[in-house]
Structure 1
Amino acid sequence: MSVTGFIGRALLSSVFIRNGLDHLQNPEPIVRAARGAEVPEPELAVKINSGVMVGAGALLALGVAPRLMSTALAASLVPTTVIGHPFWDKQGKERSQQQVQFLKNLALFGALLYITGQD
């Protein structure tokens, strides 16, 4: 494992670990968004998604099964992005802010896909 690879995985993982912990500690805004998107069992879905973010993020940072952990994080990022940042439903400044967050998540998704393709 290279030093730059370790640092890169740790930095990438940090956003998932932090957000996962935030969602576990304060799930209500995320549960409301999931409920609004008609996600079945929104409380459970948020707990599972948050747990994946924390667990897979930590394992990715440590270099444990990085391809599998990147795949799990990428999968968790899809509903998070679509439900959490629907810029297409917004106007003005809120639309712009949501679009930035949506594009940031796409960039994270790209980084995770890159890791899944590594040998």
Structure 2
Amino acid sequence: MSVTGAIGRALLASIFIKNGLDHLQNPEPIVRATRGAEIPQPELAVKANSAVLVGAGTLLALGIAPRAASAALAISLVPTTVIGHPFWDREGRERQQQQNQFLKNLALFGALLAVGSRR
């Protein structure tokens, strides 16, 4: 892997590691959103997702099993994006903000697919 590829992986991983740590330290807002989406055992779901973000993010940043780490992060983005950024049922400025976050997550998903498909 090139130096620029390693730096790119680390930069991509940083948002997942930071969010995972933030959610472990302050889970309640995420737990509330998870409850609202009727996910069973929301506290456990948030802890598990946070662990995936920190663990897979760290592996990706270090270049250890980057395909598996990218896949785990991409899979975790699907419910996070749909539950966390439902722009379709919002109005005005909030709709725009949620849509921007939704699209940001789609871009991250695409970056993970690109990293995960490299040999």
Under a length normalisation based on structure 1, what TM-score does the superposition of the two structures give?
0.99
Structure 1 segments unaligned to the other structure (5+ residues): none
Q: Residue 63 in 1 paired to residue 45 in 2?
A: no
Corresponding position of 2:105? 105
Deviation at 1:115, TM superposition (A): 1.2
* In structure 2, C-alpha distance between the alignment counterparts of 1:41 and 1:53, rounded to whole Å: 18
Corresponding position of 2:88? 88
1:39-88 per-position Cα deviation (integer Å, ceiling 9, x unaligned) = 00000000000000001001100000000000000011111100000000
| 2:14 maps to amino acid | S
1:85-118 per-position Cα deviation (integer Å, ceiling 9, x unaligned) = 0000100000000000000000000000111211
| 2:106 maps to amino acid | L
Structure 2 segments unaligned to the other structure (5+ residues): none
Corresponding position of 1:77? 77
* In structure 2, C-alpha distance between the alignment counterparts of 1:80 and 1:25, rounded to whole Å: 17
Mapping for residues 1-119 of structure 1, pairs under 5 Å: 1-119=1-119
| 1:80 maps to amino acid | T
* In structure 2, C-alpha distance between the alignment counterparts of 1:115 and 1:68, rounded to whole Å: 10
* In structure 2, C-alpha distance between the alignment counterparts of 1:116 and 1:2, rounded to whole Å: 15
* In structure 2, C-alpha distance between the alignment counterparts of 1:84 and 1:21, rounded to whole Å: 17
| 2:118 maps to amino acid | Q
Equivalences, count: 119
What's the % identity of the aligned pairs? Answer: 77
Deviation at 1:4, TM superposition (A): 0.5
Supply the RMSD in Å over aligned alpha carbons.
0.5
